[in-house]
Amino acid sequence: MNSCVETLLQYHPSQQQQQPKDENPALVFDSNLLQKQGEVPKEFLWSLGDMVSTTQEDLKEPIIDLEIMRNNDDEAIAIAAKHVREACMKHGFFQVINHGVDQNLIHAAYNESDTIFNLPLSKKMSAKRKSGGVSGYSGAHADRYSSKLPWKETFSFHYHHQKSSNTQVIDYFKSVLGEEHQQTGWVYQKYCEAMKRLSLVMMELLAISLGVDRLHYKSFFEDGDSIMRCNYYPPCKSCSHTLGTGPHTDPTSLTILHQDQVGGLELFIDNKWLAVRPRPEALVINIGDTFMDNMISPL
């Protein structure tokens, strides 16, 4: 199963290429049914101009060992910061290892993602994202767009760091999926907390790499909002003209992504698509438009 779990910091509604549509979607994305049918509905077809080649070339992004941050190894941090700066000035992507997020927690997040996307369609639709909202289930965004639909299911929810005991994610899962999903909520509560901690380490490293006060971005984003998003990309028989997620930039400040072994994330740089190779022990970090526009451009 191709899926990924990602946390997006400080988000803003993104500008979409797809056509917005009215509130009464005719199309419901039943991936099990669609996989049995031969034809892909026209709503999922993307024009050749949108299509990416299945590139064989990998991005040569920096792989940063975060042990250096825990050890306060200033010399190693300076070298890493230089690589991060170069990446930020070119495409904004790098990967981090020894990130401090328990691999068992990442594995549990995938297991719970399987649980969510394997629920009966009626159950998933009972938790569907409300118009204009972020949280909830979405089947190909069929309630939002009428063409160039992404061949994916998503489940998203907010996370806001609180110093006091925090059960907001657990409460969300219980409220939309029922008490029987308390365990799922617990896993994602812990996952969001771990991502928040990591995001602040990233803000420190980014500040160093961009030559501003080391705590500047960290203090700015301390009370930032996040979106947690699970992406599931169902198998597709004739996927030559479909996309799991269309070409885009992230309108957020920071994205922390774990992609499974199938991979599929690609960047368009110097007029060609390059693959971000999945590394199970790593997390993919990318700065988004909000960070680029407000933190880098003014430099």
Ligand X SMILES: O=C(O)CCC(=O)C(=O)O
Ligand Y SMILES: C=C1C[C@]23C[C@H]1CC[C@H]2[C@]1(C)CCC[C@@](C)(C(=O)O)[C@H]1[C@@H]3C(=O)O
Q: Which residues bind ligand Y (CB under 6 A)?
A: 8, 11, 14, 16, 141, 150, 227, 245-246, 248, 250-252
Minimum distance from residue 194 beta carbon to ligand Y (Å): 19
In sequence order, what are the residues at sequence separation of 6 or more whose Cβ sits closer than 8 angstroms to the Cβ of residue 277? 58, 59, 263
For 78-96, the three-class secondary structure string (H helix, E strand, C coil) is: HHHHHHHHHHHHHCCEEEE
| Distance in angstroms (rounded) separating the CA atoms of residues 259 and 268 | 18
259 binds, among ligand X, ligand Y, none (CB under 5 to 8 A by kind): ligand X
Bridge partners, 92 (sequence order): none
Pairing label, strands 254-259, 153-160:
unpaired
User: Is position 138 an interface residue for ligand X (rule: CB under 6 A)?
Assistant: no
- Neighbouring residues of 154: CB distance < 8 A, sequence distance ≥ 6: 137, 138, 141, 229, 230, 231, 232
173 binds, among ligand Y, ligand X, none (CB under 5 to 8 A by kind): none
Smallest gap, in angstroms, from Cβ of residue 264 to ligand X?
6
Distance CA(284)–CA(258), nearest Å, equals 6
| Helix (H/G/I), strand (E/B), else coil: 9 | strand
Name every residue whose Cβ is closer than 8 Å to that of residue 26 and which is 6 or more positions away in sequence.
none
Secondary structure element (H or E) that encloses residue 258, with its range: strand 254-259
Rank residues 138 and 184 by Cβ distance to ligand X and give the closer one. 138
Q: Tokens for 7?
A: 């946390």
How far is C-alpha 258 from the chain's CA centre? Answer: 8
- In the complex, the smallest distance separating the C-beta of residue 248 from ligand Y, rounded to whole angstroms, is 4
Q: Which two tokens stand for residue 133?
A: 């909202």
Among 61, 153, 250, 266, binds ligand X (CB under 6 A): 250
Residue 4 partner contact from ligand Y, ligand X, none using kind-dependent CB cut-offs of 5 to 8 Å: ligand X
Smallest distance, Å, CB 228 to ligand X?
Answer: 11
Picked from ligand X, ligand Y, none, the partner binding residue 246 (CB below 5 to 8 A depending on kind) is ligand Y
Contact 262, 224 (CB under 8 A): no
d(CA 171, CA 7): 18
Chosen from ligand X, ligand Y, none, partner binding at 55 (C-beta under 5 to 8 Å by type): none
How far apart CA 273 and CA 52 sit, in angstroms, is 7
Candidate segments 65-73, 172-180, 184-192, 257-265, binder of ligand X by CB under 6 A: 257-265
Give min distance, CB of 288 to ligand X, in A: 9
Residue 245 interacting with ligand X (CB under 6 A):
yes
Q: How far is the CB of 8 from ligand X (least distance, A)?
A: 7
Residue 32 interaction partner, one of ligand Y, ligand X, none, beta carbon < 5-8 Å per kind: none
Segment near ligand X (CB under 6 A), from 200-208, 213-221, 235-243, 259-267? 259-267
Residue 251 contact partner, candidates ligand X, ligand Y, none, CB within 5 to 8 A by sort of partner: ligand Y
Site of interaction with ligand X (CB under 6 A): 4, 6, 229, 231, 245, 250, 257, 259, 264-265
